[in-house]
Amino acid sequence: MRKLYRNKALDLKKVLQEPGIIIAPGATDAFIARIIEELGFKAVYVTGAGIANTLGFPDIGLTTLNEVVERARIISRAVNIPVIADADTGYGNAINVMRTVKEFIDAGVAAIQLEDQVTPKKCGHFEGKSVISAEEMVGKIQAAIEAKEEVGEELLIIARTDARDVYGLDEAIRRGNLYARAGADIIFIEAPRSIEELERICREVKAPLLVNMVEGGKTPLIPAKELEKMGFKIVIYPNTALRVAGYAVREALKILREKGDTTSILDRMLSWDERQNLVRLPYYRQLERKYLSLKGS
């Protein structure tokens, strides 16, 4: 597959070997991803739930591979930091996973998250989830590894299990270790219910660990430093930015509707220059001076 942008999986591997926990906020578009990068975060998470929400859907498996890959591609091209992408269940069986892996590699992401839910999946903090057998998920992980080897590009595989809600924590931990032995680079046990469960995951799962902080979800919100002490290596905040943005937009538009102007909220929005710098207008102005000034000469 033709590559347009450099592979950032090696960058993510390097960051994983460094001390400290990686905080990866979620982005649904390049604009939010640029803010994440500007603030010094070491990775950005392409949130599947957030993409579904921006398309007007709940997170119940209604998005397609092409919709999510295209967002991931746009985000990956917009930032220099590694991009971790939510690939849901891989959009089908193990054969589908192979295509999914190749598409995300071509999009330039550093890692993808695959989960063991039945297709169509649901948000990990919703009720009524079902999971496939552990053996089928192992097959998906192995297919993902074979697919990236066929392409000859690096890609980290994050294996997520939703078995905690279906069969309990013992089975979730068993699956986590099984998926690590199958070749997954990072293990993600979704929706633990307490600090004690989080600590047990860190003690018993023998692999680098990712944890999900969802405001209002089933897992208690724990500061990143405490999660790092427990033993987690990556913490994602998938929809913090989207939800904050939604709140701010709603409040600003209320004021616009009531007052008929925006002068009272100028201090609550990006300045003109901040906005233009985020989309790198100075760079494009430089290109205009370099190339377009030649017109007609």
In this predicted model, what pLDDT tens digit does every residue of 100-157 receive, in sequence order?
999 999 999 999 999 999 999 999 999 999 999 999 999 999 999 999 999 999 999 9
pLDDT for position 295: 61
Separation in Å, CA 35 to CA 27, 40, 112, 251, 282:
9, 9, 21, 21, 17
| Mean residue pLDDT across the chain | 95
215 pLDDT higher than 60: yes
In this predicted model, what pLDDT tens digit does every residue of 11-32 receive, in sequence order?
999 999 999 999 999 999 999 9
The one-letter amino acid code at 125 reads H
- 236 band by pLDDT with thresholds 50, 70 and 90: very high
Residues 6+ away with beta carbon under 8 Å from 254: none
9 pLDDT higher than 60: yes
| Domains in the chain with CATH codes | 9-245 (3.20.20.60), 262-297 (no CATH)
pLDDT for position 7: 73
Integer Cα distance of 174 and 205 in angstroms: 8
Integer Cα distance of 233 and 174 in angstroms: 19
* For the chain, percent of residues with pLDDT exceeding 90: 95
Integer Cα distance of 94 and 69 in angstroms: 18
DSSP-assigned states of every residue in the chain: ----S---HHHHHHHHHSSSPEEEEEESSHHHHHHHHHTT-S-EEE-HHHHHHHTT--SSS---HHHHHHHHHHHHHH-SS-EEEE-TT-SSSHHHHHHHHHHHHHTT-SEEEEE-BPSS---TTSSS--B--HHHHHHHHHHHHHHHHHHT---EEEEEE-HHHHH-HHHHHHHHHHHHHTT-SEEEE----SHHHHHHHHHH--S-EEEE--TTSSSPP--HHHHHHHT-SEEEETTHHHHHHHHHHHHHHHHHHHHSS-GGGGGGS--HHHHHHHTTHHHHHHHHHHHGGGTT-
| Mean pLDDT of the 160-182 span | 98
| Mean pLDDT of the 31-42 span | 98
pLDDT for position 1: 37
